[in-house]
Structure 1
Amino acid sequence: MTPILTVLICLGLSLGPRTHVQAGILPKPMLWAEPDRVITQGSPVTLRCQGNLEAREYHLYRERKPASWITLIRPELVKKGQFPIPSITWEHAGQYRCQYYSRSWWSEPSEPLELVVTGAYSKPTLSALPSPVVASGWNVTLLCDSQLAFGGFILCKEREDEHSQCLNFQPHTRWSSRAVFSVGPVSPSRRWSYRCYGYDSSFPYLWSLPSDLLELLVSGETLSPSQNQTDSKTGQHPQDYTVENLIRMGVAGLVLVVLGILLFEAQHSQRSPQDAAGR
């Protein structure tokens, strides 16, 4: 092996690990929105990016479409990872990521944050089937109904301690005016409050006005998970047994009434000849 080749191999071994460290040593930052990522049109919101303690600068960008509003943020706020929006509009909606600069390198991008603006369409109606009063341990069906046809619907559970948890429903057909969600099993130890939205699938970050708040009332009756499912032998739901019991009680009551009438007629027929003989 020639001396020049030996030097090149040693140089490559020494530079290889260093190049790898420089490319991916900085972990990805955290990106979130305050007060929430789902914001009503005209409300304030701040996007926050947090890296390591040595972060010197932050960079926020929107995927697929540049966001000109970011360039208007004051430099001192950008260095802190703060990107405020005093009054949100349709132009701010989209999917964002951020990075931070430290030790002469930029970090990996953060996880995506979907910033949603509500109020683009009229609000739908949210209802519980068959009733908002639900026994503990049961599942419940929620129906989001709208006068407009949408490409998708969102059901969000409102929580006091954390951000909303949302479910996405996309109909089999391209457009639909209603969506059906199944939630549960419910328990009385937590609050079960929901709103739903509709959106155009071409603009997934622009939602309708929220529906009125629907709060489920959980009764104290507790059912096991097996009781909450359809009976594997008979194919019946526990609600079916309740209906059957009511029908049986009604039939039994009717039979008692008929027997009472027959007994009364029998006694009356026996008294009639006795009355005639007495006369």
Structure 2
Amino acid sequence: MIPILTVLVCLGLSLGPRTHVQAGILPKATLWAEPDRVITWGSPVTLRCQGNLEAREYRLYRERKSASWITLVRPELVKKGQFPIPSITWEDAGRYRCQYYSHSWWSELSDPLELVVTGAYSKPTLSALPSPVVASGGNVTLQCDSQVAFDGFILYKEGEDEHPQRLNCQSHARGWSRAVFSVGPVSPSRRWSYRCYSYDSHSPYVWSLPSDVLELGPEDQSLNPTGSDSQRGLGRHLGVVTSVLVAFVLLLFLLLLLFLVLRHRRQGKRWTSGPAQLPTPRKKTS
């Protein structure tokens, strides 16, 4: 019994002297970032906390280290669960949670939100081994290289950012670093787009610029959708131009045919009428 009371007391103290939590009464808060949780340095972002319909107040926390910017948010926005950052910096990155106040109780803390700031370092290079064209159902190896010595890499699949692959590595003695990821199996009906980032493990939420996009797909699909669309668009334009040229040639042919018919008719009239008869001179009467 004593260990249970000790745990409850510790939980209460960790939330602060004014925080009262009664598990099971209030649903857990929901925390998300708009437009995204991975934000380029200097861009605006808003953390939004949502509770039940009777929520009267919200709180936002950053784990391990307090965030001074939270205290600068206007009270009317805090009451709505909105915590905007006009221009994000490296200092704002971190792991956040929130809770709301309703019916004299504070809710449980939300699930953590990892707010990541990118653009701190130069972009790495992402390549596929042996090729980005993969047999359907097969796996492929992706290699992320950086000219700077980092000990952490992130493989980010576009459209599915909830569970990016993290990989720790050892930097090379010459100052560069590399991480090797394995992805797959490749679906025959889908095309995948990947980017990779590098970071220092001492600042896991501050990433480099993203690498160029690398597209993976099965052998029977093109790996450049933009190029395919442009080729289809070019084909449509060529088809229109060809149709116009054909119509123009047909019009010229019809005009030439009409000219020849009219000319033939005129020549036919001349042949049928014959040469004009000269008037006979009158005889002189004596």
Q: TM-score, normalising length from structure 2?
A: 0.66
- Offset at residue 104 of structure 1 (A): 0.6
Give the corresponding residue for 1:168.
Answer: 166
Give the corresponding residue for 2:28.
Answer: 28
- Offset at residue 174 of structure 1 (A): 9.7
Identity of aligned residues (%): 80
Aligned length: 200
Q: Within 5 Å, give how 1:1-279 maps onto structure 2.
A: 22=22, 24-159=24-159, 163=161, 165-171=163-169, 177-220=177-220
Q: Distance in 2 between matches of 1:122 and 1:52?
A: 43
Contact 1:156 1:164 in 2 (8 A): no
Contact 1:28 1:108 in 2 (8 A): yes
Distance 1:78 1:151, change over 3 A: same
Query: AA paired with 1:111?
Result: D
Q: Distance in 2 between matches of 1:26 and 1:72?
A: 27
Alignment partner of 1:156: what SS? strand
Alignment partner of 1:206: what SS? coil
Alignment partner of 2:101: what SS? strand
Q: Distance in 2 between matches of 1:67 and 1:61?
A: 7
Deviations 1:139-197 (A, max 9, x none): 100000010111110000001xx546410001267996000000010113233000001
Give the corresponding residue for 2:254.
Answer: none
Q: Distance in 1 between matches of 2:142 and 2:71?
A: 43
Give the corresponding residue for 2:16.
Answer: none
Q: Distance in 2 between matches of 1:97 and 1:63?
A: 8
Query: AA paired with 1:124?
Result: P
The root-mean-square deviation of aligned C-alpha atoms, in Å, is: 2.1
Q: TM-score, normalising length from structure 1?
A: 0.67
Structure 1: runs of 5 or more not aligned: 1-19, 222-279
Query: AA paired with 2:208?
Result: S
Deviations 1:73-107 (A, max 9, x none): 11111111111112111111011000000001100
The structure number with the bigger radius of gyration is 2
Structure 2: runs of 5 or more not aligned: 1-19, 222-286
